[in-house]
Amino acid sequence: MAQRTRPRSAPDPEPGEPLTAREAVALVREYATEMAGSEPVRMTSATPTDDGGWIIEVEMVEDRRIPSLADILALYEVEIDFSGELLSYRRTRRFMRGQTSDGSSAL
């Protein structure tokens, strides 16, 4: 399957044509990998902004442990503009693998 992606430094080829969700997720995966030094575990959400940009939530392993159920994960919120430029990158929470959002175990 062919995937259309734009280089981060390239200008928007068509004025007013924002990134697609697929393009935004691919760029954010690249940004997160560069900034954290490891591959994202998963993308948990992709929300378009009013100005054509995207806010993407990314789950990353921050501390690998044995067993892997004890890994410390973090959720990052990454915002890019309509052309794919990084606007913000911030950790919103940390948790153990298998932990649900209310703090209980998923098992």
pTM of the model: 0.75
Per residue in 63-101, pLDDT (tens digit) is 999 998 899 999 999 999 999 999 999 999 999 998 866
pLDDT of residue 18: 83
Task: Report how far residue 105's alpha carbon sits from residue 102's, in angstroms, rounded to the nearest whole number.
Answer: 9
Report, in this order, helix, strand and coil percent for the chain, each rounded to 5. 20, 35, 45
pLDDT band at 105 (very low <50, low <70, confident <90, very high): low
